[in-house]
Amino acid sequence: MTTSTTPEPPAAAPLLDLQALVVAVRRRRRLWYATALLGLLGGSGLAVAMPPSPTAVTEVLVAHEADQPNDTGTLIRTDVQLLQTTQIAGKALQSLKSREKPEDFLQEYRGTGLTNNLLQITVTGDTDAQAVARAKALADAFVADHVQRMQRTAQAEAQALLDQRDRMRDELAQVNKEIGNQSAGSDPKASATLESLFARRAELNSRISDFDQRAADARTGAPQVVAGTQIVDTPRALRHSLPKTVATDSAIGLVLGLFLGLALAAVGTVVADRPVLRRDISANLGASVIAELPRRRSRPWQRRRTRLTRERLTAALARTVRGSTEPVSLLELGCARATSAIALDLARAMAAEGPVTVVDALPGQQLAGRRQKPGDPTVVGAERAATVPPQERRIGVGSVAPGTAWTDLQYLGTQTVLVVRAGHGSAAWLHTVARQLADQRIPVIGVVLIDPDPRDRTDGTLWDGLQTALRGRSERPARQQAGTGQRRAERQPVWATRGPDNDQEAR
């Protein structure tokens, strides 16, 4: 059996990493907390500062001549649109003896179809009494207009039927005249013509009776519509509850503010492209995450764990400094205070073995300008780094923030530990830091992640670069002196060196 040795193409990176997006949005909770709070305060303030105008409501039962049980609401929607016309608004204002323009009055009321035959009219005014009067005037104007339209329709239909009946009567008179003329003669051939004329007269009499009946039905249909269209709910003023209005507007403002904050956080995260997961940070910097520390003061139940983490980090860095003949530096990105604390802890741990000097190249010289406490190491500024005696251990503290003088970093240390705050630097800037340090031939032996996401479960360890990583410093000398093939195998994880093909080759 043969095994293909063609390497598989790497999986394409997703256009949008949902896990990183969710983590970044959650980390920006201050933004959407603030927008939600602003929405809540804005809604409540708007309800107090701009209370709803006095409102009155009434309901009108609208009868239609063409009512059908299966009507989908077309007729009542037509009535709603007719209510929103300047004709009805003008009639209502005329009954109120108001000089307001109908176009302006249209903005102060609305109609709502509750059912196929029930119309609700809502009107606002300066006072409750004015709103009630406007509602009654609008309802009366609408009922009068509706009844008038129905009556005109019935009259027009009845008149059309009567006109058709009159035309039939004229034709009947002509037929009767022809029958009289045929009867006066004695022509035997006229008998067939008389039979057809008698049949035509009977048909015309039947149709004339039918038109009379239909015209009568059309006239009797209008009173039913007139009687059925009426105001069924007397206009009344609506009572507004200020606490209820404040609660409703506050809830709406809270939801809108929260949605706006989440949208801004998501858009800002995608645009800024600031890695927050340890997996992404280590991949962009090309170094493994060796420790994680909170940015702010830990909660009471987390202080012991944070203290143990700081102690382990200090011990690991101390071992690195002891086992190296080259100076080690700490370079920060967005966490100068935490980097200063780590440098002081490392200097105190090394002070028992000999004099230690901390070279402060941070912006503002946070360490050099602080008040010295008993037992603190010697701290000098970057301009005095040349005065440090060669026999003293030196720990450089600097920054890789934008504006850094890259060529000066090698004087702080020929190998470095990066102290990076999660979500502070963009992916492009992390690439720039890694490239500039590689150009200066300053290997990165590890990354200390400040303010990590507590729910981050990604792996921040890189399996290549074992010769510079902290975990590679503990390798036995025999392994470090092994051949090239053995060193290459050591740089790979265990699962990468095992497999059916390797086992077969070993056998």
Model pLDDT, residue 375: 67
pLDDT mean across residues, the chain: 81
Q: Is the pLDDT of residue 222 over 70?
A: no
Distance CA(218)–CA(157), nearest Å, equals 7
pLDDT above 70 for 183: no
Lowest mean pLDDT among 28-32, 194-198, 486-490: 486-490
Of the candidates 303, 334, 302, 350, the residue with the CA atom closest to the CA atom of residue 448: 334
C-alpha span between 292 and 276 (Å, rounded): 12
Which of the four pLDDT bands, split at 50, 70 and 90, describes residue 81? very high
Q: What is the pLDDT of residue 74?
A: 87
Look at residue 199 in the predicted model and tell me its pLDDT.
85
- Please state, in angstroms and rounded to a whole number, the distance separating the CA atoms of residues 429 and 435: 10
Lowest average pLDDT, out of 12-16, 117-121, 334-338, 450-454, goes to: 12-16
Domains in the chain, please, with CATH? Answer: 18-51+242-272 (no CATH), 55-237 (3.30.1890), 278-462 (3.40.50.300)
Predicted local confidence at residue 367, as pLDDT: 75
Question: How many residues are present in the chain?
Answer: 507
pLDDT band for 388, please (50, 70, 90 cuts). Answer: confident
pTM summary value: 0.59
What pLDDT is recorded for position 124?
Answer: 93
Does the pLDDT at position 501 exceed 60? no
User: Percent of the chain scored above 70 by pLDDT?
Assistant: 83
Q: What is the pLDDT of residues 50-62, one digit of tens each?
A: 888 899 999 999 9
pLDDT at 298: 63
* pLDDT of 384 strictly over 50: yes
Q: Which of 69-73, 154-158, 355-359 has the lowest mean pLDDT?
A: 69-73
The stretches of 120-240 forming alpha helices (DSSP H) are 128-184, 190-228
pLDDT of residue 185: 54
Say if CB 449 and CB 281 are below 8 A apart: yes
Instruction: Give the pLDDT confidence score for residue 157 in this predicted structure.
Output: 82
The pLDDT of residue 188: 58
Place of tokens 């000398």: 477
